[in-house]
Amino acid sequence: MITVSSLTDLRKARKKLCEPVGFVPTMGYLHEGHISLVRRAKSECRSVVVSIYVNPSQFGPHEDFEKYPRNLEGDIALLEKAGVDLLWTPTNACMYPPGYQTWIDVEKLSQPLEGALRPGHFRGVATIVAKLFNCVQPQKAYFGQKDAQQAAIICQMTEDLNFPIDIVVCPTVREKDGLAMSSRNCYLTQEQRSAAKVMVQALDLARQLFEQGERQTAPLVEIVQHTVEQQTGVILQYAACVDPKTFLPMDTITDQALLLIAIQTGDTRLIDNIELTVAPVAG
């Protein structure tokens, strides 16, 4: 694996890669979720590029940019082992030089849910992803379904701005007890870690209700709310059942929906989601 930091070195190394190039942008502190993206990229592309960059512009002033976990040495070992061709670790000076002033807004999809709770977050995400795309110039790019709204925003931006890139959204990877993998899980105390499982339990109960035939979203959202409220040490930030394309709330599920949840435990925010799909009637 070649590791580069400057944009000049990246562009030089990129030119030597066989195409199609698959790209996995990350903020580092890698876990099995990230590695599953790399594996998928390796299975579909002749070369795989990973970036590790904790992007300051997607953190709010009171968020965890400073304390976001970092472990470059461990990350490099994981990526080497996974067979990545090129690792890029850009610097802030390169990504946001003095005078930097260009921002990308994906307007409607950035409004609700995470966008409402984290003003400016998705503007930072859309902008850095566009920048990374222009630097790496991949044919395919891989994102996790765990960050469902982010994935939808990146799909929309890629289509709207005509990037010649296929976006591949990959399934959420979970711990043994079901908690969605996240670099932020390392923030949790043992008690918080245990309490956080309520997210999966709540989503599972809603899924059961859906599988029993419930097609109204209100009872599905209510069971999530009710389940989380029973758990001490956890505050529900939102539970919502939305159209997977628009992220607007739905009343009735006719085809497909996303059931999204965000909780806070201590200082840590955690999110998760499941897809609810109406099975086609056998013909």
Stretch that binds its own copies, among 68-76, 128-136, 140-148, 228-236 (CB under 8 A): 128-136
105 in contact with its own copies (CB under 8 A): yes
Number of Cβ within a 10 Å radius of residue 132: 22
Tokens of 40: 């998928």
Q: Which is nearer to its own copies, 24 or 95 (CB)?
A: 95
Among 26, 36, 51, 137, binds its own copies (CB under 8 A): 137
Looking only at residues 209 through 268 of this chain, which bind its own copies when binding is defined by CB under 8 A? 245-246
CA distances from 21 to 49, 192, 194 (A): 7, 40, 40
Q: DSSP class of residue 179?
A: P
Place of tokens 């998705």: 122
Report the half-sphere exposure of 78 (CA within 13 A, side-chain side). Answer: 19
Among 46, 74, 91, 100, binds its own copies (CB under 8 A): 100
Q: DSSP class of residue 280?
A: P
103 in contact with its own copies (CB under 8 A): yes
Closest distance of CB 33 from its own copies, Å:
26
Pick the catalytic residue from 31, 34, 62, 226: 34
Q: Are 282 and 125 in contact (CB under 8 A)?
A: no
Among 122, 163, 187, 247, binds its own copies (CB under 8 A): 163
Query: Is residue 44 classed exposed, middle or buried when 0-12, 13-18 and 19+ CB atoms within 10 A define those classes?
Result: middle
Q: Say whether 121 is catalytic.
A: no
Positions marked catalytic: 34
Q: Where do contacts with its own copies occur on this chain (CB under 8 A)?
A: 7, 11, 99-109, 126-127, 130-131, 134-135, 137, 156-157, 160-164, 245-246
